[in-house]
Amino acid sequence: MFQVRTDLAIEAREIFEQKNKSDTKDVQIEKEEKENYYVTRVKILNESGERKLGKPVGTYITIDVPALKNADQDLKDEISQAVAKELRNIINPNKQTKSLIVGLGNWNITPDALGPKVIDKVYVTRHLFEAYNKTEDEDMTNVSAISPGVMGITGIETSETIKGIVEKINPDIVIAIDALASRKMERVSTTIQITDAGISPGSGIGNARKALNKEFLGVPVYAIGIPTVVDAATMINDTMELIIAELKNQADKGTSFYAMLEEMESQDKYQLIKEVLTPYMPNVVVTPKEIDELINNLSLIVANGINIALHHGIDLKDVNRYIN
Protein backbone atom coordinates (compact mmCIF):
# COMPACT_ATOMS: atom_id res chain seq x y z
CA MET A 1 0.00 0.00 0.00
CA PHE A 2 1.25 3.48 -0.85
CA GLN A 3 2.54 5.36 2.18
CA VAL A 4 3.19 9.07 2.56
CA ARG A 5 6.78 9.44 3.73
CA THR A 6 7.16 10.70 7.29
CA ASP A 7 9.43 9.90 10.22
CA LEU A 8 7.17 11.59 12.76
CA ALA A 9 4.80 9.45 14.81
CA ILE A 10 2.45 12.40 15.26
CA GLU A 11 2.07 12.62 11.47
CA ALA A 12 1.64 8.86 11.11
CA ARG A 13 -1.25 9.12 13.57
CA GLU A 14 -2.76 12.06 11.68
CA ILE A 15 -2.58 10.12 8.41
CA PHE A 16 -4.22 7.06 9.99
CA GLU A 17 -7.05 9.09 11.50
CA GLN A 18 -7.64 11.00 8.27
CA LYS A 19 -7.81 7.81 6.23
CA ASN A 20 -9.93 5.81 8.69
CA LYS A 21 -12.03 8.74 10.00
CA SER A 22 -11.47 7.48 13.54
CA ASP A 23 -8.97 7.36 16.38
CA THR A 24 -7.05 4.21 17.30
CA LYS A 25 -7.39 2.76 20.81
CA ASP A 26 -3.96 1.18 20.46
CA VAL A 27 -2.31 4.59 20.70
CA GLN A 28 -2.42 7.02 23.64
CA ILE A 29 -2.15 10.76 23.08
CA GLU A 30 -1.19 13.41 25.62
CA LYS A 31 -0.86 17.11 24.76
CA GLU A 32 0.72 19.97 26.69
CA GLU A 33 0.66 23.57 25.50
CA LYS A 34 3.21 26.19 26.49
CA GLU A 35 3.47 29.85 25.50
CA ASN A 36 6.05 29.34 22.74
CA TYR A 37 5.72 25.63 21.97
CA TYR A 38 3.55 22.61 22.53
CA VAL A 39 4.36 19.00 23.32
CA THR A 40 2.53 15.93 22.02
CA ARG A 41 3.30 12.53 23.52
CA VAL A 42 2.26 9.58 21.37
CA LYS A 43 2.46 6.15 22.99
CA ILE A 44 2.12 3.14 20.69
CA LEU A 45 0.95 0.47 23.10
CA ASN A 46 1.01 -2.80 21.20
CA GLU A 47 1.62 -4.57 17.89
CA SER A 48 -1.79 -3.52 16.60
CA GLY A 49 -0.88 0.15 17.06
CA GLU A 50 2.49 -0.56 15.50
CA ARG A 51 0.84 -1.94 12.36
CA LYS A 52 -1.60 0.95 12.12
CA LEU A 53 0.98 3.71 12.44
CA GLY A 54 3.94 1.92 10.88
CA LYS A 55 6.13 2.80 13.86
CA PRO A 56 7.63 0.50 16.54
CA VAL A 57 5.99 0.21 19.96
CA GLY A 58 7.25 2.99 22.19
CA THR A 59 6.87 6.59 23.29
CA TYR A 60 7.26 9.43 20.79
CA ILE A 61 7.53 12.96 22.15
CA THR A 62 7.09 15.80 19.68
CA ILE A 63 8.06 19.38 20.56
CA ASP A 64 6.50 21.76 18.02
CA VAL A 65 7.99 25.26 17.96
CA PRO A 66 6.40 27.38 15.20
CA ALA A 67 8.95 30.21 15.63
CA LEU A 68 12.01 27.95 15.77
CA LYS A 69 13.24 28.95 12.29
CA ASN A 70 13.69 32.53 13.50
CA ALA A 71 14.49 31.81 17.13
CA ASP A 72 16.26 34.38 19.28
CA GLN A 73 18.61 33.33 22.09
CA ASP A 74 15.83 33.26 24.70
CA LEU A 75 13.74 30.85 22.61
CA LYS A 76 16.77 28.65 21.88
CA ASP A 77 17.48 28.42 25.61
CA GLU A 78 13.84 27.66 26.37
CA ILE A 79 13.69 24.83 23.84
CA SER A 80 17.03 23.42 25.04
CA GLN A 81 15.50 23.21 28.51
CA ALA A 82 12.38 21.58 27.08
CA VAL A 83 14.50 18.96 25.28
CA ALA A 84 16.48 18.35 28.48
CA LYS A 85 13.29 17.91 30.51
CA GLU A 86 11.76 15.41 28.11
CA LEU A 87 15.03 13.48 27.83
CA ARG A 88 15.39 13.23 31.59
CA ASN A 89 11.82 12.02 31.95
CA ILE A 90 12.19 9.32 29.31
CA ILE A 91 15.74 8.21 30.19
CA ASN A 92 15.81 8.84 33.97
CA PRO A 93 19.63 9.00 34.15
CA ASN A 94 21.59 8.80 37.40
CA LYS A 95 25.16 9.72 38.40
CA GLN A 96 26.53 6.39 37.20
CA THR A 97 24.78 6.31 33.81
CA LYS A 98 27.20 5.74 30.93
CA SER A 99 25.96 7.21 27.64
CA LEU A 100 27.05 6.86 24.04
CA ILE A 101 25.86 9.71 21.80
CA VAL A 102 25.70 8.84 18.09
CA GLY A 103 25.48 11.54 15.44
CA LEU A 104 23.97 9.89 12.38
CA GLY A 105 24.17 11.41 8.92
CA ASN A 106 26.53 12.73 6.28
CA TRP A 107 28.57 15.76 7.37
CA ASN A 108 29.16 16.66 3.70
CA ILE A 109 25.44 17.24 3.02
CA THR A 110 24.04 20.08 5.10
CA PRO A 111 20.41 18.85 5.53
CA ASP A 112 21.83 15.49 6.69
CA ALA A 113 24.51 16.97 8.96
CA LEU A 114 22.40 17.47 12.11
CA GLY A 115 23.84 14.44 13.89
CA PRO A 116 27.53 15.21 13.23
CA LYS A 117 26.96 18.87 14.15
CA VAL A 118 25.42 17.86 17.49
CA ILE A 119 28.42 15.62 18.24
CA ASP A 120 30.71 18.65 17.81
CA LYS A 121 28.84 20.36 20.65
CA VAL A 122 28.24 17.49 23.09
CA TYR A 123 30.35 17.59 26.24
CA VAL A 124 32.20 14.25 26.34
CA THR A 125 33.75 12.98 29.56
CA ARG A 126 34.50 9.26 29.22
CA HIS A 127 38.24 9.87 28.84
CA LEU A 128 38.24 11.82 32.12
CA PHE A 129 36.39 9.05 33.96
CA GLU A 130 38.90 6.54 32.57
CA ALA A 131 41.92 8.68 33.45
CA TYR A 132 40.83 9.16 37.05
CA ASN A 133 39.30 5.66 37.42
CA LYS A 134 35.94 7.11 38.48
CA THR A 135 32.44 5.67 38.23
CA GLU A 136 30.59 8.84 39.19
CA ASP A 137 31.10 12.56 39.67
CA GLU A 138 29.33 15.39 41.44
CA ASP A 139 28.66 17.32 38.23
CA MET A 140 29.20 15.05 35.22
CA THR A 141 28.25 11.62 33.95
CA ASN A 142 30.25 9.31 31.70
CA VAL A 143 29.54 10.41 28.12
CA SER A 144 31.22 9.35 24.89
CA ALA A 145 30.28 10.38 21.36
CA ILE A 146 30.82 9.25 17.78
CA SER A 147 29.80 10.36 14.31
CA PRO A 148 30.21 7.16 12.24
CA GLY A 149 29.49 8.67 8.83
CA VAL A 150 27.48 6.88 6.17
CA MET A 151 28.18 3.72 4.21
CA GLY A 152 28.88 5.70 1.04
CA ILE A 153 31.85 7.30 2.80
CA THR A 154 33.09 4.51 5.07
CA GLY A 155 31.98 1.36 3.25
CA ILE A 156 30.70 0.09 6.61
CA GLU A 157 27.09 -0.28 7.71
CA THR A 158 26.39 2.30 10.42
CA SER A 159 24.74 -0.36 12.55
CA GLU A 160 27.88 -2.51 12.43
CA THR A 161 30.05 0.40 13.56
CA ILE A 162 27.76 1.28 16.46
CA LYS A 163 27.36 -2.33 17.57
CA GLY A 164 31.13 -2.78 17.68
CA ILE A 165 31.54 0.36 19.80
CA VAL A 166 28.75 -0.67 22.16
CA GLU A 167 30.32 -4.10 22.67
CA LYS A 168 33.68 -2.48 23.40
CA ILE A 169 32.74 0.32 25.82
CA ASN A 170 29.51 -1.11 27.33
CA PRO A 171 27.36 2.03 27.68
CA ASP A 172 24.11 1.88 29.64
CA ILE A 173 22.23 3.81 26.95
CA VAL A 174 22.66 5.03 23.37
CA ILE A 175 21.25 8.35 22.19
CA ALA A 176 21.11 8.69 18.38
CA ILE A 177 20.55 12.00 16.59
CA ASP A 178 19.45 12.13 12.97
CA ALA A 179 17.78 14.35 10.39
CA LEU A 180 14.23 13.27 9.55
CA ALA A 181 11.63 13.81 6.86
CA SER A 182 8.21 15.35 7.41
CA ARG A 183 5.06 15.24 5.29
CA LYS A 184 4.28 18.88 6.12
CA MET A 185 6.41 21.83 5.09
CA GLU A 186 5.43 23.70 8.25
CA ARG A 187 7.19 21.11 10.43
CA VAL A 188 10.55 21.30 8.65
CA SER A 189 13.10 22.70 11.12
CA THR A 190 10.37 23.51 13.67
CA THR A 191 9.71 20.09 15.21
CA ILE A 192 11.85 17.95 17.52
CA GLN A 193 10.97 14.27 18.06
CA ILE A 194 12.32 12.25 20.98
CA THR A 195 11.62 8.52 21.25
CA ASP A 196 12.66 5.43 23.18
CA ALA A 197 11.96 3.17 20.18
CA GLY A 198 15.34 3.57 18.45
CA ILE A 199 15.87 4.72 14.88
CA SER A 200 16.59 3.54 11.33
CA PRO A 201 19.54 5.54 9.92
CA GLY A 202 18.80 7.10 6.55
CA SER A 203 15.03 6.82 6.88
CA GLY A 204 14.62 10.58 6.38
CA ILE A 205 15.59 10.30 2.71
CA GLY A 206 13.95 6.92 2.12
CA ASN A 207 17.24 5.00 2.43
CA ALA A 208 16.70 3.22 5.74
CA ARG A 209 19.45 0.93 7.01
CA LYS A 210 19.31 -1.64 9.79
CA ALA A 211 17.49 -0.25 12.82
CA LEU A 212 19.41 0.84 15.90
CA ASN A 213 17.31 -0.39 18.80
CA LYS A 214 17.54 -2.35 22.04
CA GLU A 215 17.00 -5.67 20.27
CA PHE A 216 20.02 -5.09 18.04
CA LEU A 217 22.43 -3.27 20.36
CA GLY A 218 21.46 -4.88 23.66
CA VAL A 219 20.99 -1.53 25.46
CA PRO A 220 18.15 1.02 25.41
CA VAL A 221 18.32 3.28 22.37
CA TYR A 222 16.81 6.76 22.45
CA ALA A 223 16.56 8.89 19.34
CA ILE A 224 16.30 12.62 18.72
CA GLY A 225 15.33 13.80 15.26
CA ILE A 226 14.38 17.00 13.48
CA PRO A 227 12.77 17.11 10.02
CA THR A 228 15.07 18.94 7.63
CA VAL A 229 13.54 17.86 4.30
CA VAL A 230 10.27 17.09 2.58
CA ASP A 231 9.97 15.30 -0.73
CA ALA A 232 8.88 17.29 -3.76
CA ALA A 233 5.49 15.59 -3.90
CA THR A 234 4.77 16.68 -0.33
CA MET A 235 5.57 20.30 -1.14
CA ILE A 236 3.31 20.27 -4.21
CA ASN A 237 0.59 18.45 -2.27
CA ASP A 238 0.60 21.07 0.49
CA THR A 239 0.41 23.82 -2.13
CA MET A 240 -2.57 22.09 -3.75
CA GLU A 241 -4.25 21.82 -0.34
CA LEU A 242 -4.01 25.59 0.05
CA ILE A 243 -5.35 26.15 -3.47
CA ILE A 244 -8.25 23.74 -2.95
CA ALA A 245 -9.12 25.34 0.40
CA GLU A 246 -9.25 28.75 -1.29
CA LEU A 247 -11.35 27.40 -4.17
CA LYS A 248 -13.79 25.87 -1.67
CA ASN A 249 -14.12 29.23 0.04
CA GLN A 250 -15.06 30.82 -3.28
CA ALA A 251 -17.24 28.01 -4.65
CA ASP A 252 -20.93 27.74 -3.89
CA LYS A 253 -21.86 24.83 -1.64
CA GLY A 254 -24.09 22.31 -3.35
CA THR A 255 -22.50 22.75 -6.76
CA SER A 256 -20.83 19.85 -8.54
CA PHE A 257 -17.52 21.72 -8.50
CA TYR A 258 -17.66 22.08 -4.72
CA ALA A 259 -18.56 18.40 -4.36
CA MET A 260 -15.57 17.44 -6.49
CA LEU A 261 -13.23 19.51 -4.30
CA GLU A 262 -14.77 18.01 -1.17
CA GLU A 263 -14.18 14.46 -2.40
CA MET A 264 -10.51 14.92 -3.27
CA GLU A 265 -8.57 12.84 -0.72
CA SER A 266 -5.05 13.91 0.27
CA GLN A 267 -3.80 10.37 -0.33
CA ASP A 268 -5.19 10.38 -3.87
CA LYS A 269 -3.64 13.76 -4.65
CA TYR A 270 -0.29 12.72 -3.26
CA GLN A 271 -0.30 9.49 -5.27
CA LEU A 272 -1.20 11.38 -8.44
CA ILE A 273 1.57 13.92 -7.87
CA LYS A 274 4.14 11.15 -7.32
CA GLU A 275 3.11 9.43 -10.55
CA VAL A 276 3.37 12.68 -12.53
CA LEU A 277 6.75 13.63 -11.04
CA THR A 278 8.40 10.20 -11.28
CA PRO A 279 9.56 10.43 -14.92
CA TYR A 280 11.09 13.87 -14.30
CA MET A 281 12.07 14.21 -10.62
CA PRO A 282 12.10 10.81 -8.90
CA ASN A 283 13.17 10.85 -5.23
CA VAL A 284 13.64 14.63 -5.11
CA VAL A 285 13.72 16.13 -1.61
CA VAL A 286 13.47 19.82 -0.75
CA THR A 287 15.10 21.77 2.08
CA PRO A 288 14.98 25.48 3.08
CA LYS A 289 17.56 27.75 1.44
CA GLU A 290 18.79 28.92 4.88
CA ILE A 291 19.49 25.31 5.94
CA ASP A 292 23.11 26.06 6.94
CA GLU A 293 22.05 28.51 9.63
CA LEU A 294 19.13 26.31 10.68
CA ILE A 295 21.34 23.26 11.19
CA ASN A 296 23.81 25.28 13.26
CA ASN A 297 21.03 26.59 15.50
CA LEU A 298 19.18 23.29 15.79
CA SER A 299 22.34 21.33 16.56
CA LEU A 300 23.15 23.77 19.36
CA ILE A 301 19.65 23.43 20.83
CA VAL A 302 19.80 19.62 20.76
CA ALA A 303 23.38 19.46 22.11
CA ASN A 304 22.55 21.84 24.96
CA GLY A 305 19.48 19.77 25.78
CA ILE A 306 21.57 16.58 25.92
CA ASN A 307 24.30 18.25 28.01
CA ILE A 308 21.79 19.56 30.54
CA ALA A 309 19.88 16.25 30.68
CA LEU A 310 22.89 13.97 31.19
CA HIS A 311 25.20 16.14 33.29
CA HIS A 312 23.41 16.83 36.57
CA GLY A 313 25.81 19.64 37.49
CA ILE A 314 25.23 21.61 34.29
CA ASP A 315 22.40 24.12 33.95
CA LEU A 316 21.48 26.65 31.30
CA LYS A 317 23.85 29.26 32.74
CA ASP A 318 26.77 26.84 32.29
CA VAL A 319 26.05 25.00 29.08
CA ASN A 320 27.33 27.52 26.52
CA ARG A 321 30.72 27.62 28.23
CA TYR A 322 31.49 24.27 26.63
CA ILE A 323 30.39 25.24 23.13
CA ASN A 324 32.50 27.09 20.59
- Give the pLDDT band of residue 1 (cuts 50, 70, 90): very low
Indicate the class that CATH gives domain 9-229+288-322. alpha beta
How confident is the model at residue 304, as a pLDDT? 95
Backbone angles phi, psi at 9, to 5 degrees: -65, -35
pLDDT at 152 over 70: yes
As a whole number, mean pLDDT of residues 313-322 equals: 76
pLDDT at 303 over 60: yes
CA distance 304 to 264: 44
As a whole number, mean pLDDT of residues 142-165 equals: 92
pLDDT in tens, 51-72: 888 899 999 999 999 999 999 9
**In the chain, what are the domain boundaries?**
9-229+288-322, 235-277
How confident is the model at residue 267, as a pLDDT? 55
pLDDT in tens, 189-245: 999 999 999 997 655 445 555 789 999 999 999 999 999 988 777 777 777 777 777
pLDDT at 300 over 90: yes
> Are the C-beta atoms of 139 and 313 separated by less than 8 Å?
yes
For residue 131, give the DSSP letter.
Answer: H
For the whole model, what pTM was predicted?
Answer: 0.86
> Are the C-beta atoms of 27 and 42 separated by less than 8 Å?
yes
